[in-house]
Structure 1
Amino acid sequence: MSKVKLWSFVADWESQGDWMLQTKVWVTSTIREGVGTSIEAFTGPLYKFYPKFSKLGLLDLMTVTKWNPPHSCDVQHTGAIIKGTGTFELVEIEPNETRFNWSETVIFPKSLLFLAIPLLWAVKIGVIISLLRLRKKAMSA
């Protein structure tokens, strides 16, 4: 898939819930793209019913800090639990083949450190499933 087409999938915030496992995403700012865009994402088993079941998941608040379409996007995580940075980068391998690099640097609260190992495994599995879903969505477009 071309870089431009893949960008249209990953930078469409509201549709990220189509491929991110058990996640609902929405824009909270008046601007919908670019530096300064504010986004919220709720992840949890009952994500479709947020905010009614907000205690059964995690709310992630983000602000776009770098916007370079169709190449890269950086966000700052500013929530009560999730703090840190996130980046996605698209690298063209061939005209219709693009690699999607996604990285996160998270500052984990010391009070929840005992959950770090099991949580990291759950996140890893969730990310793998999400990326497979993104690939399936991109291939069917």
Structure 2
Amino acid sequence: MPELVERVTVEAPPERVWAALTDWPSQGAWMLATDVETVSGPAQGVGGRLAARTGVPLPWRRGRHLGVLDTMVVTEWDPPRRVVVQHTGRIVRGPGIFEVRPSGEHTEFVWTERLHLPFGLLGTLGWPLARPFVVVGVRLSLRRFARFARAYPG
């Protein structure tokens, strides 16, 4: 199972970083090409369910995307340190781990994805080609998150 681990330093206290991270409906403000469509259940705890659409908006089809529906269930909740979501969609599967770590006057945010690759052997062979694009997207999202969290009012 491939694992992707990326991190960013945020100029904000851990409590603000946590609040920004777990503001699920606002995730599209920082996560590249993502819109959170629904949040149900105890979104601020274990059992919460999220559905996000990741992809490119189709300008001629208002509200529609060319991409994937990423459904998730919160499986661990340890504020303000760690939240784990289990991706349960048809394409995106496996745990996503978000960790908030105090680091002096700042906070380190660590994003880990443990991917269950789709499409069997084709997915396994294609991962080395797709990985650099995924890394670039995650790194860009993390830079956007650092700005988002620093300015977050919570």
Give the TM-score band, short-chain normalised.
0.7 to 0.9
Pick the structure with more helix per residue.
1
Counterpart residue number, 1:115: 126
What's the TM-score, normalizing by structure 1?
0.88
Q: What's the CA shift for 1:116?
A: 1.6
Q: What's the CA shift for 1:140?
A: 3.4
Gaps of 5+ in 1: none
- Number of corresponding residues: 138
Amino acid paired to 1:93 = S
Counterpart residue number, 2:110: 101
| Greater displacement, 40-49 / 76-85 | 40-49
What's the TM-score, normalizing by structure 2?
0.81
Equivalent position SS for 1:64: strand
Aligned to 1:29, which of 17, 40, 51? 40
CA contact (8 A) 1:24 1:47 kept: no
Pick the structure with more strand per residue.
2
Aligned to 1:92, which of 89, 102, 105? 102
Q: What's the CA shift for 1:14?
A: 0.8
User: Does 2:88 correspond to 1:78?
Assistant: yes
Amino acid paired to 2:113 = E
Q: RMSD between aligned alpha carbons?
A: 2.0
Gaps of 5+ in 2: 1-11
* In structure 2, distance between residues paired with 1:19 and 1:86: 16
Structure number with higher relative contact order (C-alpha < 8 Å, ≥ 6 residues apart)? 2
